[in-house]
Amino acid sequence: MQALVYFRSIPRYLLAKGLNRLWPRHFFASLAPLRLQEIPFTPAKADWVRLRPRLCGICGSDLRLLKGGESFLLEPYASFPAVLGHEVVAEVAEAPPGSDWQAGERVVVEPVLPCEVRGLAPCRYCAQGQYNLCENFTRGSLAPGTILGYHREAGGGMAGLMAAHPSRLVRVPQGLTDEAAVLTDSLASALQPVLDNFPPAEASVLVFGAGIIGQHVIRCLRTLGSRAALVAVARHPFQQELAWAGGADAVLLNPDRQELARTLGAQLLPTTLGGGNLEGGADYFFDCVGSRSSLQEALLALRGQGVYVLVGTAGALGGLDFSSLWFRELRLTGSAMYAYATWQGGRVRTYQLAVDLLSGGAYPTNGLLSHTFHLQAYRQAFRTAFHKARHQSVKVAVDLRGIGL
């Protein structure tokens, strides 16, 4: 079958890291450790469901991998070579006897590989339904790896065939298109931190970053009924328009601290060096960028005992002034992937709730899936995802419908 394979190359990874510092929006296709090649289809386990991918989204983590931007500390949680792609809408090709799945059903694939998938007794986190924090991602009957698509045995969705553990599948309702369903994974990644840090009605919320995750955070808050004052920060005008459409009360385009303070109803306190501080800012800061500058702005823009939620992944962030962390007693937390959450007094599986929101008709998806490309055009797909301003890209997906095996 045809598959897009990422192979491990330290020299190419470091070269990409260096080039990205000079040209952060350029995809160096000839240097990337990617190959579109014919490989045999070998399911990781005999009792996994065989799937035929239909659409597969390109995730920000895919881009960071190709930019050489992933943290070195996360190396033990992946294994290569691996077929890329973990934002998958697929059709069941073959299901094991006695399973709940039938050939022809459409599914989305929750890519996490916790204890249950690895044939292990549940660790303390998996037992609580927090399998995104599984302590056994490097143990069990599978090779090390947190999610499929970064795993040498559990290949991803940029291929003619793939396989997944039956517990990792969620049915796609008949009325939900593939183009909407492929948003499930990115939506679930935003939905989890929103459910875990849902703001009260009187709160003020700042969503920093208006890429696909920031757009989902805005829409999650509004679709789930949040009445908090919601301010978003966007980099590009097309992102600004989408944030307005998603329900933000105000959308700032690359604001300075004066404009940010004015919009939040805060006071800008001049400083001799450092660009000024803010007093009386937001109650919640959802960081959908994960950069040094976004974290620094969060530390300044939050009011006393405010909550910072790191949604966009980040590696080393040097040169930060952390004085506001102790001075204002801020709370900092991260959000890794998705699992279960509390909603309306009960426990919900975040991935299932994401599908329910997409199929319910109230969640605005217009403009979120901005581009699709066939697998053979993967270079153009990644170029489009890399350079958001030039292509006005939000979510870019690979279309595998009709691909030959």
The CA dihedral of 117, 120, 125, 130, to the nearest 10 degrees, is 10
Q: Which helix (H) or strand (E) holds 381?
A: helix 378-386
> In angstroms, rounded to a whole number, what is the distance separating the alpha carbons of residues 129 and 123?
10
Give me 341's structure tokens.
């959450």
User: Which residue is associated with the tokens 């095996």?
Assistant: 405
User: Which residue is associated with the tokens 């909407």?
Assistant: 180
Mean pLDDT score of the chain: 91
pTM for this model (two decimals): 0.92
DSSP SS3 for 275 = coil
Architecture label for domain 191-340? 3-Layer(aba) Sandwich (3.40)
> In angstroms, rounded to a whole number, what is the distance separating the alpha carbons of residues 392 and 236?
8
Question: What pLDDT does residue 347 have?
Answer: 94
User: Is the per-residue pLDDT at 275 higher than 90?
Assistant: no
DSSP SS3 for 50 = strand
Could you give the count of Cα atoms lying within 13 Å of 400 in the half-sphere of its Cβ? Answer: 29
Give me 143's structure tokens.
């090779």
Could you give the count of Cα atoms lying within 13 Å of 178 in the half-sphere of its Cβ? Answer: 18
The DSSP bridge partners found for residue 302 are: 282
Question: What pLDDT does residue 10 have?
Answer: 82
Query: 67 falls in which pLDDT band (50, 70, 90)?
Result: confident
> In angstroms, rounded to a whole number, what is the distance separating the alpha carbons of residues 248 and 229?
8
Query: 52 falls in which pLDDT band (50, 70, 90)?
Result: very high
Query: 255 falls in which pLDDT band (50, 70, 90)?
Result: very high
Mean pLDDT confidence for 324-345: 84
Q: Are 301 and 266 in contact (CB under 8 A)?
A: yes
User: Is the per-residue pLDDT at 12 higher than 90?
Assistant: no
Query: 315 falls in which pLDDT band (50, 70, 90)?
Result: low
Mean pLDDT confidence for 140-159: 93
Highest mean pLDDT among 31-35, 59-63, 98-102, 390-394: 390-394
> In angstroms, rounded to a whole number, what is the distance separating the alpha carbons of residues 250 and 230?
7
Give me 270's structure tokens.
């001049």
Range in 191-205, 301-315, 358-372, 387-401 the model is least confident about: 301-315
Query: 274 falls in which pLDDT band (50, 70, 90)?
Result: confident
Mean pLDDT confidence for 302-308: 92
Question: What pLDDT does residue 296 have?
Answer: 86
Answer whether CATH 3.90.180.10 is correct for domain 2-112+147-183+368-399.
yes
Q: Which helix (H) or strand (E) holds 49?
A: strand 49-57
User: Is the per-residue pLDDT at 223 higher than 80?
Assistant: yes
The DSSP bridge partners found for residue 267 are: 279
Query: 395 falls in which pLDDT band (50, 70, 90)?
Result: very high
User: Is the per-residue pLDDT at 198 higher than 70?
Assistant: yes
Range in 75-79, 147-151, 214-218 the model is least confident about: 75-79
> Residue 364: what residue type?
P
Give me 74's structure tokens.
């996360």
Query: In 130-183, which residue ranges form alpha helices assigned H by DSSP?
Result: 178-181
DSSP SS3 for 242 = helix
The DSSP bridge partners found for residue 88 are: 56, 109
Q: Are 186 and 213 in contact (CB under 8 A)?
A: yes
Question: What pLDDT does residue 295 have?
Answer: 87
User: Which residue is associated with the tokens 């590989």?
Assistant: 113
The CA R_g of the chain, rounded to the nearest whole Å, is 21
Q: Are 218 and 242 in contact (CB under 8 A)?
A: no
Query: 326 falls in which pLDDT band (50, 70, 90)?
Result: low
For CA atoms 156, 161, 163, 167, the dihedral sign is positive
The DSSP bridge partners found for residue 329 are: none
**Where, residue-wise, is CATH 3.90.180.10 in the chain?**
2-112+147-183+368-399
User: Is the per-residue pLDDT at 159 higher than 70?
Assistant: yes
Question: What pLDDT does residue 405 have?
Answer: 58
Mean pLDDT confidence for 192-219: 96
**Where, residue-wise, is CATH 3.40.50.720 in the chain?**
191-340
Main-chain phi, psi angles of 148, to 5 degrees: -70, 155
DSSP SS3 for 133 = helix
88, 84, 37: which is closest to 64 by C-alpha? 84
> In angstroms, rounded to a whole number, what is the distance separating the alpha carbons of residues 284 and 389?
27
Question: What pLDDT does residue 60 have?
Answer: 87
User: Is the per-residue pLDDT at 69 higher than 70?
Assistant: no
With a CB cutoff of 8 Å and minimum separation 6, the contacts of 70 are: 61, 64, 315
User: Is the per-residue pLDDT at 48 higher than 80?
Assistant: yes
User: Is the per-residue pLDDT at 318 higher than 70?
Assistant: no
User: Is the per-residue pLDDT at 146 higher than 70?
Assistant: yes
Question: What pLDDT does residue 29 have?
Answer: 74
> In angstroms, rounded to a whole number, what is the distance separating the alpha carbons of residues 221 and 224?
5
> In angstroms, rounded to a whole number, what is the distance separating the alpha carbons of residues 185 and 110?
7
Give me 146's structure tokens.
């947190």
